[in-house]
Copies of this chain bind each other. A is one copy, B any other.
Amino acid sequence: MRIAVDAMGGDFAPREIIEGAVFAQAKLDLDVALVGDRDAIAAYLKQHNYKESDRLTIVPAEGTIDMHEEPLEGLRKKPRSSIAVSMDLVKRKEADAVVCAGHTGAAMAAALLRLGRLPGVDRPAIGALLPTLIPHKPVLLLDVGANVDCRPKFLEQFATMGLLYSQYALGVKEPRLGLLNIGEEACKGNDLAIRVHQALQDNPHVPFAGNAEGRDVISGQFDVIICDGFMGNVLLKFAEGVGQVAMQILKEELPQGWQGKLGTFLLRPNLKKVKERMDADEYGGALLLGVAGVCVIAHGSSKANSIYNAIRVAKDAVDNQVLDRIRGQIKAQTSIPASIPSAVPDIDAPDDPPT
C-alpha cells in the first residue's frame, strides 16, 4: 500500500507533515509518497537523517492552493499543485489514498476533477469527526459543506457512506445512525428531514437509530449523524467556535487572584487533558466520501501526530475496502419512494467538472 501525502499543505508544512509521514511509514509499514517541492522536502529529509527509499519517495509538484484561494480557480491556475499531483497518483493507481492538511474545498475539487464520483453517488459529501462526551468516541457528521441544498436521496446516500466508513475505516462494529432534527418523533422537522426520516425507516439496508437533536450530536449516543451541508457547515464552525470560546473563558477566569494563579498552575496537566478532549483536531479533520478514491483531510493546524492519525485512517479505509463497499452497496441501499414529491427543485447531480 502506498499513501500520497501532500507535503506542502497546512500551517506547519512541510515540517510537521513530513515528520508525521515518516513516522507513519515506519510504524504502519506502508509506502509513502511525499508530494511537493522536491528541493524543500529533500533538504528536510537530509537534515533529519531520513533516507529516501522505495518506501519513502518524493513526487515533485509545483505550488499549493492557498487557503484563501477559490478552489476551482486555484486548480486551473496550478494544475501541477501538490494536491492535484497527489490525486493524479491515485488516479494512475500509483497510490491508494491521499492525505492532505487543510483547504477542504480544494481537496474536494481536485478529487472531483481527477477521480470523479463513485458510480451511484449523486453527491459526494464531506464528513467531519467531532469529539463527544465519551473519550475516544467521535461522531461522524456529514455533510459539513459540500451540498447546501439537498434532496432526500442525497442524505440517504450520506447515511450509507457514513455507516460504511464508520464501520470499516473507524472500526465501529454497529454504528448508530442519527438524522439531525428538532425532535425525536417522525413527524418533527422541516420538509427534508421528515422525508429523509421516512425513507430511512423504509430502507431495510440502513440501520436507523432515529432523529438526533442538537444536544445529541456530542452526547456520544450516535456514531454517524447526517444533515444537509448548510446545517452541517454552520454546526461544525459553531462547534469550533464554542471550543475556542470555552478555552478563552477558562484562560480569562481561572487565573484571577492568587488562589486562581496557584490553582491554575496546579491544574496545568489536567487542563491540557480538558483541551485535548474538547479539541476537534484530535480526530484529524474531514473525509471525502463518494469520490472515487480514499481522501482524508487533516486540519490545517495539524502537527505530526494528526498527520500520522490521518494516514492511519486512510490505511484502514484502504485495508477494509471502504470504497468497494460503498460502490457495491450505494445502489442497493438507496430506495426513496418516487411517490413523495420534493420541495427542493429537482437538481440533477452535476456533471463531473471538465478535466
Instruction: Report A's interface with B, CB cutoff 8 A.
Output: 132-133, 145, 148-149, 180-182, 189-191, 193, 213-219, 227-231, 233-242, 244-246, 248-250, 253-257, 259-260, 262-267, 269-271, 273-274, 277-278, 343-345
Contacts and interface: CB of A to CB of B under 8 A. Distances in A.
A223 to B, nearest CB: 17
A182 B214 contact: no
Specify how many copies of this chain sit in the oligomer.
Answer: 2
A345 B218 CA distance: 33
Nearest to A231: B231
A274 B245 CA distance: 11
Given A145-B182, A180-B234, A193-B230, 15 more contacts: A133-B248, A133-B249, A148-B190, A182-B230, A182-B233, A182-B237, A214-B236, A218-B238, A219-B241, A254-B267, A259-B266, A262-B263, A262-B266, A266-B266, A267-B267
Contacts of A277: 249, 253
Contact of A238 (B133, B235, B245, B254): B235
A269 B260 CA distance: 9
B270 A260 contact: yes
Given A230-B193, A264-B263, A253 B273 contact: yes
15 contacts: A148-B191, A149-B191, A189-B230, A214-B238, A214-B240, A217-B241, A227-B234, A239-B242, A246-B278, A254-B271, A259-B267, A263-B265, A263-B266, A264-B267, A266-B266
Which of A181, A214, A219, A262 has most chain B Cβ within 10 Å? A214
A246 B243 CA distance: 9
B214 A237 contact: yes
Contacts of A273: 253, 256
A248 B277 CA distance: 11
A267 B256 CA distance: 9
Given A182-B148, A190-B149, A231-B234, A270 B241 contact: no
A235 to B, nearest CB: 6
Nearest to A238: B214
Nearest to A239: B242
